[in-house]
A and B are shown apart, each in its own frame.
Chain A
């Protein structure tokens, strides 16, 4: 059974550019969540998608957006990149959507974004 696949693994972008990260969940998992991990802030929740709808959103500016497709694959986009957006972005899939239980997450390997 394939795990959660995130692409690309590494990315270097220039300040002001935009970036799109991709996540393919485990087959059968319809809930996809995104996290940003930095040394200073730890793991911070970005958003959760379920059935192509954003169910939950963390405290991030509007430059951070996402979407989910009918096959449950998800993308997140960051526009007008800032140096502080440099981080490891982790995607996680779950059988359980928020509000319907406490099912665990399976994480991908992450995308390490560096903004220069």
Chain B
């Protein structure tokens, strides 16, 4: 069964600094996608970035990058130049590509607080 682990319940970062949110996963499917979502207090889940298991290069989207280490089964999110508006819950998720019944599974989340 697929499993997502986020070991940091809460993180603090100074405005304009970079921060790394950790995520490890477990799957036996060779084809899978890894995703990061941001959830502000309003509740909406906002898609940030994704990485496919066969992608050779790390994904980047603006200030977000995904540090994908396949052998270690980790998919850490790096946010550069943090802004106050980055304060939110961040969820790592995975969806397997081959198996049936492969709903997207989520980690427990990391609450990021950006300090001015």
| A107 lies within 8 A of B103 (CB) | no
Instruction: Give A112 to B41 CA distance when docked, in angstroms.
Output: 12
Chain B interfacial positions (CB closer than 8 Å to A): 31-33, 35, 37, 42-47, 50, 52-53, 91, 95-109
Instruction: Give A43 to B92 CA distance when docked, in angstroms.
Output: 11
Instruction: Give A48 to B95 CA distance when docked, in angstroms.
Output: 13
Chain A interfacial positions (CB closer than 8 Å to B): 33, 42-43, 45, 48, 55-56, 58, 88, 90, 92, 98-99, 101-110, 112
Measured CB to CB, the nearest residue on chain A to B98 is A99
Instruction: Give A42 to B31 CA distance when docked, in angstroms.
Output: 25
Measured CB to CB, the nearest residue on chain B to A100 is B97
Measured CB to CB, the nearest residue on chain B to A111 is B43
| A104 lies within 8 A of B95 (CB) | yes
| A99 lies within 8 A of B100 (CB) | yes
Instruction: Give A104 to B33 CA distance when docked, in angstroms.
Output: 8
Measured CB to CB, the nearest residue on chain A to B100 is A99
Measured CB to CB, the nearest residue on chain A to B104 is A105
| A43 lies within 8 A of B91 (CB) | yes
Q: Which residues of B contact A101 (CB under 8 A)?
A: 31, 97
Q: A43-B91, A104-B35, A107-B37 are in contact. Are A99 and B104 (CB under 8 A)?
A: no
